[in-house]
Amino acid sequence: MNFSWIRQATAVLGMLAMAALLAGCATEGKVLAPQEKFGSVSTYSRLFDATPAQTCEAARRALLSQGYIISTTTPDLVAGQKNFQPEADAHVQVMIRVVCVPESADASISLGFVTALQDSYTLKKSNNSASLGVGGVGSLSLPFMTGGGESLVKIGSQTIADNDFYDSFFDLVKRFLLSNEALPTQDVPD
């Protein structure tokens, strides 16, 4: 039996593994620049003249009014998401999370923290194929004659940092607080 092609394949795989290892070592000492700069800007938070429960209820109503699907709602937390399809082969999902905390001793003033995350997806087509083993030669991959499959592949994720986006959301929350004076109140623990 001739095992020379097995030795060649083993040698090639060994060289590829070594190249991957060396590439990993080359980036090991690399330090990435910080992506975050903490400051006193109020992009992601606002004070409200309402209890945390009232603020989160107004935030829930604001999200619902814009077509968001609410996934979580508690007296101090609201989370929702909305899907967009800007192009035929692109998909965007925006997830918004609102946390409401008391800012005064009697909880009559609250602070609302909002974070919006945008995930981007693209449509990828995949062709199906079958492998056929041929003795002495190896394997041969043949494509199916079907149309193949399509799937959404995540290509990016980022926190939305646009001040106008958050300003418009907070303005809508304030509008719901003003128009709904009968929103639930939160019991303050003793």
Residue 130 lies in a domain: yes
**Domains identified in the chain, total number:** 1
Range of the domain at 159: 43-179
In-domain check, residue 172: yes
User: Is the pLDDT at 33 greater than 50, yes or no?
Assistant: yes
Enter the pTM of the model. Answer: 0.67
Q: Is residue 122 part of a domain?
A: yes
Specify if 3 maps to a domain. Answer: no
pLDDT per position as a tens digit, 113-169: 999 999 999 988 876 555 556 566 566 555 554 555 788 899 999 999 999 999 999
Would residue 135 count as lying in a domain?
yes
| DSSP string of 80-132, one letter each residue | EEEEEEEETTEEEEEEEEEEEEE-STTS-SEEEEEEEEEEEEEEEEE--EEEE
The CATH code of the domain that includes 134 is 3.30.310.80
